[in-house]
Amino acid sequence: MPLPAAIKNMDESKRRFLQSAAMFGASLLLPASAVATEASGDKRESEQLIEEQENRLNKLATAPPVQLTATEDNILGPYYRQGSPYRAKVTSIGEPGTPLLVKGKVWSLNTRKPLPGAIIEIWQADDKGRYDNDDPEHPPTADSFTNRTRMTTDETGRYEFESIHPGKYRIGESLWRPSHVHYMVSAPGHKTLVTQLYFHGDPHNEKDQFVKQSLIRTPKKESSNGVSYELIAFDIVLAGTANR
Ligand SMILES: [Fe+2]
C-alpha cells in the first residue's frame, strides 16, 4: 500500500515504525485525522499522527490474551515473610548469579482487563539456593529483607523487577526443588494468589511434585551494556472473590 505523502517526508525511524505498525494491521485503527494530514502535509499533524498511532499500538498491546484463564496456584513454602520493602530490585547490587529480568501484567479474569495497583510480593533463594530465613540459628533481623520485594502494578497493570536466577535447593535425600520465584499477588475484589514461576529446561522440574506446567516459562537470553541476562515474561490472571 503506498504511503501517504506526510509519512514519506518523515525521518527514517518514524517511517519504519509506521510501516511495521501497518504490518500488524494497526493501519485499520488510524483516525480520520490521518486523511487530513496526508492532504495538508503539515509536519506537526504528522507528528500527532505518530503519537496517536503509538497510543493505539500501546492499547493493542494491552489486549488480553485470547485464552484468559486464572493462573494456577502453588505452595506457599516455608520461607515467606511479611513486610518486604517496596523496590524494583529483588536482589542487592552485585548479588552473585545470572541476572534475571521479569516482566508481566496482572489481569482480572472477571473483567478481562489489566489490574492497576495490584500488590505483588516476591521472594526467592539466592544463587546457592539459600533463603534469608532458612537458618533458624541465624534468623534475619526484622528490618532486613534479602532477595525479597514488594511492588504494585502500574496504571496499565504492568510490573517488572530485576533479580538473579534463583538457585535450586535440597528438600530430601535425592530431591531438589528446581529454580523458582515465589509470588503472592493480591488486588481488591480478587482472590489472593500464591504461586511460583519456574524455568524451562531446569533438570529438577520433572521430579519436583509441586511444579505445574502452566507455571514454567522459557528464559530468553538478552544482553545490555555488555551484561548477559535472562528475560522472562510472566503474566498473572487473578480470579474474582467467591462472593462476586
Ligand atoms: Fe522456594
Q: In terms of residue numbers, what domain contains 13? A: 5-61
- Under the banding of pLDDT at 50, 70 and 90, the label for residue 47 is low
- Under the banding of pLDDT at 50, 70 and 90, the label for residue 60 is very low
Residue 62 pLDDT: 59
| Judgement on whether residues 189 and 122 belong to the same structural domain of the protein | yes
- Residue 108 grid cell: 482480572
Residue 15 has pLDDT above 50, yes or no: no
Task: Give a yes or no: residue 137 inside a domain.
Answer: yes
Residue 20 has pLDDT above 90, yes or no: no
Rounded CA-CA distance 132/119 in Å is: 22
- Which residues are identified as catalytic? 131, 169, 177, 180, 182
Residue 97 has pLDDT above 60, yes or no: yes
- Under the banding of pLDDT at 50, 70 and 90, the label for residue 160 is very high
Q: Considering only 49-58, 94-103, 213-222, which range has the smallest mean pLDDT?
A: 49-58
Distance 65 CA to ligand 1 centre (A): 28
| Judgement on whether residues 156 and 206 belong to the same structural domain of the protein | yes
Residue 16 pLDDT: 45
Rounded CA-CA distance 244/236 in Å is: 19
Residue 3 has pLDDT above 70, yes or no: no
pLDDT average, residue stretch 13-32: 38
Distance 187 CA to ligand 1 centre (A): 23
Distance 76 CA to ligand 1 centre (A): 8
Question: How many folded domains does the chain comprise?
Answer: 2
Q: Which of 181, 175, 195 is nearest to 230 (CA)?
A: 181
0.75 exceeded by pTM = no
Task: Give a yes or no: residue 91 inside a domain.
Answer: no
Task: Give a yes or no: residue 188 inside a domain.
Answer: yes
Task: Give a yes or no: residue 144 inside a domain.
Answer: yes
pLDDT average, residue stretch 3-21: 43
Q: What is the CATH number for 152?
A: 2.60.130.10
Q: What is the chain written as a DSSP string?
A: -PPPHHHHTS-HHHHHHHHHHHHTTGGGG--THHHHHHHH--HHHHHHHHHHHHHHHHHHHTSPPSS--PPP-----TT--S-PPB-SBSSPTT-SS-EEEEEEEEEETTT-SB-TT-EEEEEE--TTS--TTS-TTSPPPTT--SSEEEEE--TTSEEEEEEEPPPPEE-SSS-EEPSEEEEEEE-TTB--EEEEEEETT-TTTTT-SS--GGGEEPPEEEEETTEEEEEEE--EEEPBPTT-
Residue 152 pLDDT: 97
Distance 188 CA to ligand 1 centre (A): 26
Residue 242 pLDDT: 53
Residue 189 has pLDDT above 80, yes or no: yes
pLDDT average, residue stretch 231-236: 97
